[in-house]
Chain A
C-alpha cells in the first residue's frame, strides 16, 4: 500500500491540555479517508498539523515521505502547492470577489494567460454550482456558498491531496448530495487523496474508503466503512447513532456539575 500521509506518534498540547497523545495514522494514496470524532477533539488541529501550520511537541508527519516540520520554508511552500485545504470557515480573501478568489492561487503560482485562467476558474465554479456568483463579494455570500467557493479555490491548482474541514456543514440536501458526489468524483477522476473531516456520518460513510474515529487524543477505531458500520465497540456505535448516553462524553472536561453549582 502506498502511504501518502503518515502521522507518527504525534503529541500536541494546547496550554495544559493534551489534544493528541501519541497519535498515529496512515492515509493511503488515492483514497477517501474520513476522520470523525466529537466536536473539540482536534480534527481541525490535526489538519493544521499535517499542513505544517502547527508544530507538534513530539512525533512527526510525513507527506510524500517528507517530514513536514523539518522542511525549509521554501520546500514546505512547494509541498503546499500540491495540497489543497478547505477551511472550516471558508477563509476567503475578503477584498477579492468570488472569481478572483478562485483565480488567486493560479495567478500567484502559474504563468497561465488570463484567458486560460478565466476558463479554469469558470470550470471550477461550475463544479460547485456557483458560476453565476462569480462577481459577488465574499461578504455577500451565505456560509454554505462561501464554503463552496473555498472548495473551488482549493481544487484550482489541481493538487494531489485535499483536506476538507467540514465540507458539508450548512448545505441544503441537494447541494450536499452534489458535493458528496463531487468529492468522490475528484478523487476517482484525478486520483486525489482526500481527507474528509465531517460529522455528517451517513454522507461521509457513503464515500469513504477508510475511516478513523478519534477521541481524547487517540484513534478510537479505524477500518473500512464495513468494519466501522458493523463495529460492536460501544463507543463507535454511540457515535454513529448519535445517542446522548454512552462512553462518549458530551461535555468538555469539567468539574463535578453539582460542585460547580455550589450544591455540595
Chain B
C-alpha cells in the first residue's frame, strides 16, 4: 500500500515536471518563431516534408471515409425517403468533425512521428550541439520552421481531406446508388454554413496543429540519445498526440456547436 502511494506520488510528480518542461519549451520557442517567416527556403522545405509528403495518405483516407459516409448515410436516410440529404450529412460530418480530427490523427502518425525521430536523432548525433557551436540557434534554424510548417499545413490537409470526402460521398450516392445529382448538391450547399461549419472546422485543425507541432518537437528535443530513447519518444508523440486531439475535439465541439 505504502509502495503504491509512493509510486503514485513519484509518477504524478514526474508528470508535473514534464508538463513544466513542455511549458518552458514553448516559452523559449515562441520568440524564435518569427525567424521562420524570414527564412523562406527552410520553411518551404518543411512544408514539403510535412505537407506534400502527407498528401497521398490524406487524400486516399478522405476519399474512403467519404465513400463510407455516403453508403451509411444513404442506408439510414432512404428509410425516411430523404436520401437527397446524404450530401448534406456527408459534408457536415466531414467539415465539422471527421476532416479536422481524422486528418490530424493521420498527420501525427505520418509527420509528427517523423519530426520526433528526426530531431531525436539530430540530438543523439550531436548535430544540435554542433549548430550551437557554430553560433546558429537550433530553435530558430531547426525548431521554428518545423513548428510553423505544421501549423500552416495541417489545416490545409484537413480541408483537402474533407473535399475528397465529399467527392467520395458523391461518387457512392450519385454514381452508384442513384441519388439525384441536383438535389445532392443543392441540399448540401443550402445546409452547410460557411462560417459555422467550415471555419469552425479550420479553427479546430489549427488547434490540433499547435498541439501536434508542440508535442512532436518537444519529444524530439527530450529524447534520450539512444535508439531506444528515440523510439520511445516517437511513441509518446503519437499516443499523446492522438489522445490530445480527441480530447481537444470534445472540448472544442462543446464550445462551438452548443
Contact = CB atoms under 8 A, between A and B. Distances in A.
A91 B127 contact: yes
A78 B135 contact: yes
Interface string A106-122: 00110000000000000
Contact of A109 (B129, B130, B135, B137): B135
B134 A108 contact: yes
* B122, B125, B133, B137: residue with the most chain A Cβ atoms closer than 10 Å: B133
Contact of A94 (B127, B133, B134, B136): B127
* A73, A77, A91, A94: residue with the most chain B Cβ atoms closer than 10 Å: A91
Contacts of A83: 133
B127 A105 contact: no
Contacts of B122: 94
A81 interface: yes
Contacts of A36: none
Contacts of A91: 125-127, 129-130
Contact of A108 (B127, B129, B132, B136): B136
Contacts of B127: 91-94
B134 A87 contact: no
A150 B127 CA distance: 11
Nearest to B136: A108
Nearest to B49: A95
Nearest to A78: B135
B135 A80 contact: yes
* A48, A83, A89: residue with the most chain B Cβ atoms closer than 10 Å: A89
Contacts of B130: 85, 87, 91-93, 150
Give the interface size class of chain A: 20 to 34
A140 to B, nearest CB: 15
A51 B133 contact: yes
A92 B134 CA distance: 12
Contacts of B129: 48, 53, 87, 91
A105 B133 CA distance: 10
Nearest to B45: A95
Contact of A77 (B125, B126, B137): B137
Contacts of B126: 87, 89, 91
A81 B125 contact: no
Q: Chain B contact residues: over half helix, strand or loop, or mixed?
A: helix
Contact of A105 (B121, B125, B134): B134
Nearest to B121: A94
A80 B134 contact: yes
A118 to B, nearest CB: 18
* A48, A51, A92, A93: residue with the most chain B Cβ atoms closer than 10 Å: A93
A199 B158 CA distance: 56
A170 to B, nearest CB: 16
Interface string A29-58: 000000000000000000010010100000
B125 A80 contact: no
B134 A89 contact: no
Contacts of A94: 121-122, 125, 127
Interface in B104-132: 121-122, 125-127, 129-132
A160 B72 CA distance: 72
B134 A53 contact: no
A193 B224 CA distance: 34
A243 to B, nearest CB: 33
A223 B125 CA distance: 35
A53 B133 contact: yes
A165 B130 CA distance: 13
Contacts of A81: 135
A104 interface: yes
Interface string A58-98: 00000000000000010001101101010101011110000
16 contacts: A48-B129, A51-B133, A77-B137, A78-B135, A80-B134, A87-B126, A87-B133, A91-B126, A91-B127, A93-B131, A94-B121, A94-B127, A105-B134, A108-B134, A109-B135, A150-B130
Interface of B: 121-122, 125-127, 129-137
Closest 4 CB pairs of A and B: A91-B130, A91-B126, A77-B135, A80-B135
Given A85-B130, A89-B126, A91-B125, 10 more contacts: A48-B129, A78-B135, A83-B133, A91-B126, A93-B130, A93-B131, A94-B121, A94-B122, A105-B135, A108-B134
